[in-house]
Structure 1
């Protein structure tokens, strides 16, 4: 019998291979089991579809003017949410074609896409394709950051797989198209469509859809408002991809013309932004809401803002900047201009700049004097005075002897202001300034009475507004109410209980301020109705101010250079006063004419042998430095040229005792101080003027006519 053949033993390498294969299969099974468990757990933790729809990626703030007009939208912008069926098919197809061609086939992560990205990486030596699916991008945008780390990528894959298990493809695409960032602050296709094309996404054409779909890869690079050529080129890639996937025909691809698209106009960065930049930071103090979209309603009057813009641009000297703030009687900011052009300079000179106010600071000197018991009719001697080594002088370079406080204020006599400050105490004047809202440091050098401490325009305007409100404190505000999701979460309430000075003190101060506008340094600010105000000019004409009020509206104007260099011819009574009038005329046109409690009383004109002694003089030309120390006088110069037709000198006066600027204009004919001038100055109707006397002109003025003010005063 033949012996049975024995089976040869298995080779060792085969046994090891089989064992390794078994272990690998077991590992794969375990990995898939662990993955399945992880996906299931992640799926259970995912928010619902409705919750994801209502969760924005940031807080949007819409700022409204007083009439409800949206003037600025800040933060991320979200358009109308479009359901899957409302989204145009060309938009869905364009997105799938360029971002994830296998979107409807993969389970959330596309192994083929990953392999293709890895192959390109090997060929080109760098990552040029990420291989991320639409679901992965949605997971990253909603739940994760954009850090390029493996742990984050693994988490992204897990969430994508979980989302595919919880949501349908239509829901995922709907979420993606309504939440992805398209650049320009726009989240979602509707916001992007409105941002770039000016209409909703439900009206998108093929070319427009291609442009928007192409933005996802690099919103800043392909934005049509940033690089139109790049946006058009990218849109061509999208259209080609749509043709390759069969989403559109070749004829449709040829008919699409991204180059012919009309973009929505860019919003103008005008002076409204000066206001919003000032007002919006106050939200942190007013509300505690940092996620819900906000609607912020403000005090800004758009028509007044436009007039303010024009007034500054048309009146500010060449090379100079200008700023304007206008407050209503309750402190509401109706207009704010921080410079000639917001685009070229966002620096807000109305709220941030600190400059010397010149003689406009005398408001606080005279308030302190009136509170101490002085009256506008009180007399004081205008004479040379020296205080602690400081000897101020008047702009006319001479003294007039005994004058009333009304006359001294109207023509801004520096010697009288210095004597009043010494009498009441310079610390008292500083305290008065702080009482009326000056927030910057105020020095107590004797020269402080001439405005040597830096101040802000908005603070000075606030002070004048408080005087105009009969001594009741006025606090500037810009936000009237704030709404979150349609619910009012803040509403402004005005406090008018804080009395700064007695009403009679405020009334006497208004009396003096009227005089300054009617016959003093502020004549260019007349608008044909009662106006009270004060000019201010600093050393060497570096700053020009005018602040005043009429019909419940208080406006402050500043002009000067940012580098504080002198500006030939800049006085508070010239360009700033004219800008004030150019703004206040239209701004008060719809307001009733309001008479002040005190009728204007003209100053004593019999003070000097020369009829025009006070006309056209600069209001603060004493030479002092920033610390209040005197600036040495220069050698005597020729007399300043006569005033022009508006009563202002036609060449820059010598502000710190320095020589006048060269190249002065030719002197203009002198304006006589006669009855015709006075009538025009105070707005008295022609048919009410008294006939001129047959004798030589007298400087004694007729009694004040209560009906002197009218809107149709003749041009001057």
Structure 2
């Protein structure tokens, strides 16, 4: 197979070399004869013309069926051609300028800065080199072609046979197991188009692919691909990925490492060795087998390459501090700054001292207690009262599990939802001193009980919240109205599938730690609803301002009387209630604990005079853990809230 790309000029030259054909015909129309000035004897046809009409045989006239069918075909063909041109024009009128996009040989970088201006993370191939396809290791190119597009050097941008083969394979399997996109189509999609799945976008992808094949050589297209493809862990391009995963430039990678990189485009977030070394190895073995099937690697060489696995990744560098926060912020950059056509600098809200205290708290507490608690994961988020995220810990180890439990995990809040129930009670006429019955209750067929399995009889509203009495929470919900409880929670910022079921009183729905903690902000900041945010400004490398966060304005959701009442009850929770492990002598701490059924989720959300924080402890698979969670949560919470404050000599009121 000729590996050199076909040049469109060669085809054009071959077309121009065809022999010319005369475009003018001087001959007389058939069946005609010029009249002579001296006519001779009448011709046979003339003699036939003088015969009576009845004696002449019928003849097919020029205006018969074949001519009418031909004219109809020509008309239809013309209109179909016009319609086709119009359709193509409609799909192509808003296409981006491919030449301008193709001139960019790397994805612009994004640098994140902490609140004090120190760099906390960088994404993109800022430190990666642009590599031409001809200079890349042959094993890498063969691995990519064997896995992504074996007919790359033969097709015109769209592999018709590949599409048919994928359709047959998928029909036999009963689900999608193979795609038909070529490398050229992937370049068109990733460089010029959005990721939306629509018929219009697919047609545009095909048009751009054909344009790329006519405008660039195969090597140029492959060069664009290897330098712009996303390969996981924030890397774009093969050199950046090689440096991230193997700590060497792409020119120095082995066959196994080349196969690993070639296998990443299918699912870079799942198959990269930072997220899952096991899945990365399994995918690499698939790529090595693809190379064998394509005839570009012998079975013996593939086996030898697979044996490199233990030494192929010399140890992934430990993720930098605040990586969970960096991932969360990066997902929002494009929404605020638009398409990334330049290097960006993002000023964030992260407080490095608070972040370090949060990470230390989660690590030390979970390392000491997780085994006995049977709880393997934790999440923590700390906010300013205006919603600015000061610290975020999405799990115990980002390198092993990059899933951000602080922002992405949705778990039942349990009793941590009760402050919103009690606020609804205040709005329905109750007060912290109001007396309610802590006795067994049944709503329909549902009979909830208390956490301790004991009942205290007549109690005040403050006692009920401090001791987290389920029966009283249900009674308040029924008195205030389930629909009203849902409205109050949403007004303060609780998001999720809140339905007016009786169990809403006990927090039986799902929410992320970030969203639940943010919804506590009105209790702490004087009754103003806020939204969590991590980006303050976005500029380019030249200092041009692309985005600046504007104050959200006043959004009062509580009256001063309600704020005072809620603070009084939440202070009691920490002073002598279920959250007393978070109490500090001479300091005011307010908050609420939360536990779900069978101790699947454990929460503490609380605040001092300056910081609001929420902690979650549990297991990703929702398996139960021990009930001694409150002390662990309190320790983590205190370390977070006061870790940086102690450095500055500050404290809570």
TM-score when normalising by structure 1: 0.53
Of 493, 499, 514, which residue of structure 1 is paired with 2:550?
493
Distance 1:308 1:532 in 2: 19
Match of 1:360 in 2: 416
Corresponding position of 1:522 = 579
The 2-side partners of 1:218 and 1:384 are apart by: 64
Matched, 1:61 2:110: yes
What is the deviation of 1:553?
0.8
Matched with 1:541 is: 599
Q: Which residue of 2 aligns with 1:417?
A: 473
- Is the 1:195–1:264 Cα contact (8 Å) retained in structure 2? no
Q: 2:639 aligns with which of 582, 594, 600?
A: 582
Q: 1:562 is matched with which residue?
A: 620
CA deviation after TM superposition for structure 1 residue 363, in Å: 0.6
- Residues 194, 64 of structure 1: alpha-carbon distance in 2 compared, 3 angstrom cutoff: farther
The offset of 1:512, in angstroms, is: 0.6
Please say if residues 602 and 617 of structure 2, whose CA atoms lie closer than 8 Å, have aligned partners that are also in contact: yes
What does residue 399 of structure 2 align with? 343
Q: Give the 3-state SS of the residue equivalent to 2:593 in structure 1.
A: strand
Q: SS at the partner of 1:347?
A: coil
Q: How does 1:367-378 map to 2 (within 5 A)?
A: 367-378=423-434
2:467–2:573 CA contact under 8 A, matched in 1: yes
Residue 77 of structure 1 aligns to a residue whose secondary structure is coil
Q: C-alpha deviations, 1:376-395, integer Å up to 9, x for none?
A: 12223333333334333333
Match of 1:38?
A: none
Cα distance change, pair 56–568 in 1 and its aligned pair in 2 (3 A): same
1:290 Cα offset (Å): 2.5
Residue deviations 1:208-245, cap 9 Å, x none? 99859999999958xxx999xxxxxxxxxxxxxxxxxx
- Please give the secondary structure, in 1, of the residue aligned with 2:605: strand
Q: Report the Cα offset of residue 356 of structure 1.
A: 1.6
Deviates most, 452-461 or 59-68: 59-68
Q: State the SS of the aligned residue for 1:482.
A: strand
Q: Determine if the alignment matches structure 1 residue 429 to structure 2 residue 478.
A: no
Distance change (3 Å), C-alpha of 1:574 and 1:80: same
1:65–1:300 CA contact under 8 A, matched in 2: yes
Q: Is the CA contact (8 Å cut-off) linking 2:518 and 2:532 kept in structure 1?
A: yes
Paired with 2:377 and 2:257, the residues of 1 have a C-alpha distance of 42
Does 2:120 align with 1:71? yes
User: How big is each residue's C-alpha offset from its partner over 1:475-505, in whole Å with a ceiling of 9 and x where there is no partner?
Assistant: 1001111112331110112324101111221
In the alignment, does 2:496 pair up with 1:447? no
Q: Which residue pairs with 1:164 in the alignment?
A: none
1:560 CA drift (Å): 1.2
The answer (yes or no) to whether the contact 1:271–1:342 under 8 Å persists in 2 is: no
Q: What residue number does 2:62 align with?
A: none
The separation in 2 between residues aligned to 1:364 and 1:150, in whole angstroms, is 58
**Cα distance change, pair 397–70 in 1 and its aligned pair in 2 (3 A):** same
Give the number of the structure with larger relative contact order, counting CA–CA contacts within 8 Å between residues 6 or more apart: 2
Distance (Å, rounded) in 2 between the aligned partners of 1:587 and 1:412:
30
> Does the C-alpha gap of structure 1 residues 181 and 402 become closer, same or farther in structure 2, counting only changes over 3 Å?
closer
Cα separation, 1, equivalents of 2:498 and 2:577: 27
> For the Cα contact (< 8 Å) 2:413–2:510, is it kept in 1?
yes
5+ residue gaps, structure 2:
1-9, 18-99, 139-149, 154-183, 191-205, 263-272, 274-279, 282-312
Displacement of 1:445: 2.3
After superposition, the Cα gap between the structure-2 partners of 1:321 and 1:58, relative to the gap in structure 1 and judged at 3 Å, is: same
2:520 paired with 1:464: yes
1:152 positional shift: 7.7
Taking the aligned partners of 2:422 and 2:136, their CA distance within structure 1 comes to 77
Counterparts of 1:616-695 in structure 2, within 5 Å, are none
Q: Are the structure 2 counterparts of residues 61 and 406 from structure 1 closer, same or farther at C-alpha, using a change threshold of 3 Å? A: same
Q: Contact (CA 8 Å) 1:271, 1:336: kept in 2 or not?
A: no
1:154 is displaced (CA, Å) by: 8.7
Contact 2:589 2:652 in 1 (8 A): no
CA distance in 1, matches of 2:611, 2:509: 26
Q: Is the 8 A contact 2:106 2:125 kept in 1?
A: yes
Whether contact under 8 Å (1:551, 1:592) holds in the other structure is no
- Decide whether the 8 Å contact of 2:377 with 2:619 is kept in 1: yes
> Contact 1:479/1:492 (CA < 8 Å) preserved in 2?
yes
Give the match for residue 103 of structure 1. none
Do 1:377 and 1:404's aligned partners in 2 also have CA atoms closer than 8 Å?
yes
- Residue aligned with 1:547, SS: strand
Q: Following the alignment from structure 1 to structure 2, what is the Cα–Cα distance between the partners of residues 424 and 378?
A: 14
- Alpha-carbon offset, residue 181 of structure 1: 10
Q: C-alpha displacement at 1:548, in angstroms?
A: 0.2
Q: Distance in 1 between matches of 2:339 and 2:570?
A: 45
Gap change, CA 1:214 and 1:429, over 3 Å in 2: closer
What is the deviation of 1:437?
Answer: 1.2
Indicate the residue corresponding to 1:401 in structure 2: 457
1:62 and 1:294 in contact (8 A); partners too: yes
Deviations 1:327-381 (A, max 9, x none): 1111111111122222222222222222221111111111111223322122233
Q: CA contact under 8 A between 1:421 and 1:449: conserved in structure 2?
A: yes
Contact 1:368–1:432 (8 Å) recurs in 2? yes
Taking the TM superposition and a 5 Å limit, the aligned residue runs for 1:70-149 are 70-77=119-126
- Between the aligned partners of 1:210 and 1:270, the Cα distance in structure 2 is 26
Deviations 1:603-637 (A, max 9, x none): xxxxxxxxxxxxxxxxxxxxxxxxxxxxxxxxxxx
Corresponding residue for residue 475 of structure 1: 531
268, 277, 287: which one aligns with 2:318: 268
- CA deviations 1:140-197 (Å, max 9, x no partner) are 9xx99999x999889657999xxxxxxxxxxxxxx99xx99999958799x8999799
Classify the secondary structure of the residue corresponding to 1:515.
helix
Q: Superposition pairs for residues 583-598 of structure 1, below 5 Å?
A: 583-589=640-646, 590=648, 592-595=650-653
In structure 2, the CA distance between the partners of 1:345 and 1:399, relative to structure 1 (3 Å rule), is same
Alignment root-mean-square deviation, CA: 5.0
Question: Between Structure 1 and Structure 2, which shows a larger proportion of helix residues?
Answer: 2
Cα displacement (A) at 1:75: 2.5
Task: Determine helix, strand or coil for the equivalent of 1:588.
Answer: helix
Give me the whole-angstrom Cα distance separating, in 1, the residues matched to 2:340 and 2:433: 57
Count of residue pairs brought into register by the alignment = 450
**Residue 389 of structure 2: which of 309, 333, 336 is its match?**
333
